[in-house]
Amino acid sequence: MVARAEVARAPVRGLSRLAAVRPAAPSLVFLLERTAAEDRTAFSALYAATSAKLYGIILRILRRRDIADEILQEVYVQIWERAAYYDAAKGAPITWMVAIARNRALDEVRRKSPISIEDTPEVMSMSGEEEHPLDRVAKSQELARLNGCLEALDSNRRELVLLAYREGMSREALGRRFSRPPATIKSWLRRSLLQLRDCLGHDRA
């Protein structure tokens, strides 16, 4: 086992003598810049690097693969078309791309008749199991912080926020879920959002 690991590392070491190596995330900026310049190779690399993440998010909201496939295509068409408008000062590339994906998926799910409540899975634990190992390294601090603020909400408010964000549930669906009228859900959302904002800070743009 040790010997195999040595062999596997050998070629890396050959060149690494000259280069310390850091993780990949910063270069999404580069790939987006090249995509803005209509560089198709860069775009395919961008697709390879990000499509599993965006697809996971879209599928979670839309549930149906046939619809999710279509929406994913549209999302990458939008990314191709709007890459030039990405502004690094306003956030990380992946945040920008996730926003495009979620907005497109949410537009779709709001346009359709609401998904039946029977389809709604239990809200899943936010701890480790769902995390992508790569994200865990880079994002653990931010997740821990958000988790801490979510923990400070009443337990059903925390679930409310998670169901809304991850499953894309409407106020009506949330109302059925919690056996409350939509107006109550609206006021829960309002208070939860303000509490979260105050916990996380006003200036995190």
User: Which residues in 108-137 contact another protein (CB under 8 A)?
Assistant: 109-111, 126, 130-135, 137
- Out of 82, 92, 123, 180, which residue is the one contacting another protein (CB under 8 A)? 92
d(CA 106, CA 103): 5
Nearer to another protein, 52 or 152 (CB): 52
> If binding is defined by CB under 8 A, does position 31 make contact with another protein?
yes
- Selected from 2, 3, 23, 85, the binder of another protein by CB under 8 A is 23
Minimum distance from residue 91 beta carbon to another protein (Å): 5
Q: Which of 158, 198, 164 lies closest to 182 in space, CA to CA?
A: 164
Of residues 176-205, those binding another protein (CB under 8 A): 185, 189-190, 193-194, 196-197, 200, 202-205
Work out whether 84 is an interface residue with another protein (CB under 8 A). Answer: no
Q: Which of 62, 157, 158, 168 binds another protein (CB under 8 A)?
A: 168
Residue closer to another protein, measured from CB, 13 or 118:
13
SS3 93: helix
Q: Binding residue for another protein (CB under 8 A) from 36, 54, 62, 115?
A: 54
* Subset of residues 132 to 161 that bind another protein, contact rule: CB under 8 A: 132-135, 137, 139, 142-143, 145-147, 161
From 113, 92, 112, 98, select the one nearest 166 (Cα to Cα).
Answer: 98
Distance of CA 194 to the CA centre of its chain: 22
Residue-by-residue DSSP string for 29-71: HHHHHHHHTT-HHHHHHHHHHHHHHHHHHHHHHH--HHHHHHH
Handedness of CA 5, 6, 7, 10 (dihedral sign): positive
Distance of CA 69 to the CA centre of its chain: 17
- Contact residue for another protein among 82, 120, 159, 170 (CB under 8 A): 170
* Calpha distance 59→54 (Å, rounded): 8
CB within 8 Å of 47: residues ≥ 6 apart: 76
Q: How far is the CB of 199 from another protein (least distance, A)?
A: 10
Distance of closest approach, residue 118 Cβ to another protein, in angstroms: 20
